[in-house]
Structure 1
Amino acid sequence: MKTLSLISLFFFSFAIHAQNFQGNQEDINLILSNIKDFSSSVMNSEYQSIGNAYTDDAKIFPNNREIIKGREAIIGYWTLPEGVQTKYHKITPEEIKIIGNEAYDYGYYEGITLRPDGTESKWKGKYVIVWKKINQDWKMYLDIWNGIKD
């Protein structure tokens, strides 16, 4: 009986944290690939690649800031000061739903920032992204996030 209870608990826990992806699998895979590439670009300070992940008319909604509009302004936002580096960045979607040539996903993000003095800052939060399909690629149109305190 104890083993059955543990197995049931395992499957119940898995179901609670399971991802829910709806839409064409090829499109889902492309969005997942773009999410991974975005994190890689953030960690490598590849600001043009970060900017190219967004539509030309994209908007971002950073925590405690005004809305930032347009690719160039978004690149400016993501550009770090000299000596600061994003050591780790990961986005974990909980749900992706494709509706025609638009999609949304939401989930969690986490990361570590390395400061010039060698100290690190860990952070995490939740996000929502609205995607648009442009020329057979998925780009972020609206990107909103806010932090979660430990």
Structure 2
Amino acid sequence: MKKHHLPKLFLTVIFISLWSCQETKIESGTEYSNTIKEIIETKNSKLQTWYAQGMIDSVAAHFADDCIQMPPHQPPIMGVENFKKVWKENTQMGTWNFDLKTNDVKASGDLAVEYGSYILTFSPNQKSLIPAMDDKGNYVAVWERINDDWKIVWDAPTPTTPMELPPAMDSIPK
């Protein structure tokens, strides 16, 4: 290599090194969280409709491939394919009406945590093994931006409705 090209090469290497050391700014803060909250509220509105209509493939499109849903008093549902299987079975037994309310969102970069409350009404059909029920509670959902789309990674509902005790348990002194 000729000596007169070395200074140019040296400057180019230094420029590239300095450029790559720049900090990447991560979006965060109240304004960013509020923007993501609006996105999540729009998605939740669609999810409510699709659950009620039994459109589980549409619901699943808003969950990450490696999602984990943690239904109360049951083992976690691991992965979107298992999620679809479980919920397709559930919707064969009746109609699931969710009323989801996003109370708060904290977002930073490609992750967001949603804290919300829900009301669930299940109306069984004739072949249902599940009785009619009303439930309400709170939930935490972790969302991740994947390929410019926000998807649920973890979903953990927690009922606030007390569990019904079996008849033998009703007589236990408190």
Does TM, scored on the shorter chain, surpass 0.5?
yes
Tell me how far 1:66 sits from its aligned partner. 1.3
Q: Considering only aligned residues, what root-mean-square deviation do their CA atoms show, in Å? A: 2.1
Partner residue, 1:142: 154
Partner residue, 1:71: 80
Partner residue, 2:95: 85
Q: Which amino acid aligns with 1:135?
A: N
Tell me how far 1:28 sits from its aligned partner. 2.7
Partner residue, 2:68: 59
Provide the identity percentage: 21
TM-score (norm 2): 0.67
Three-state SS of the structure 2 residue aligned to 1:92 is: strand
TM-score (norm 1): 0.77
Structure 1 runs (4+) deviating above 6 angstroms are: none
2:153 is equivalent to residue 130 of structure 1: no
Task: Tell me if the contact between 1:23 and 1:99 (Cα under 8 Å) persists in the aligned partners.
Answer: no
Distance 2:156 2:43 in 1: 17
Tell me how far 1:137 sits from its aligned partner. 1.3
Task: Tell me if the contact between 1:58 and 1:70 (Cα under 8 Å) persists in the aligned partners.
Answer: yes
Partner residue, 2:49: 40
Count of matched residue pairs: 129
Higher relative contact order (CA 8 A, sep 6+): 1
Distance 1:60 1:111 in 2: 16
Partner residue, 1:49: 58
Structure 2 unaligned blocks of 5 or more: 1-28, 163-174
Distance 1:102 1:65 in 2: 26
Structure 1 unaligned blocks of 5 or more: 1-20
**Greater fraction strand:** 1
Tell me how far 1:83 sits from its aligned partner. 4.4
Change (3 A) 1:81 1:134: closer
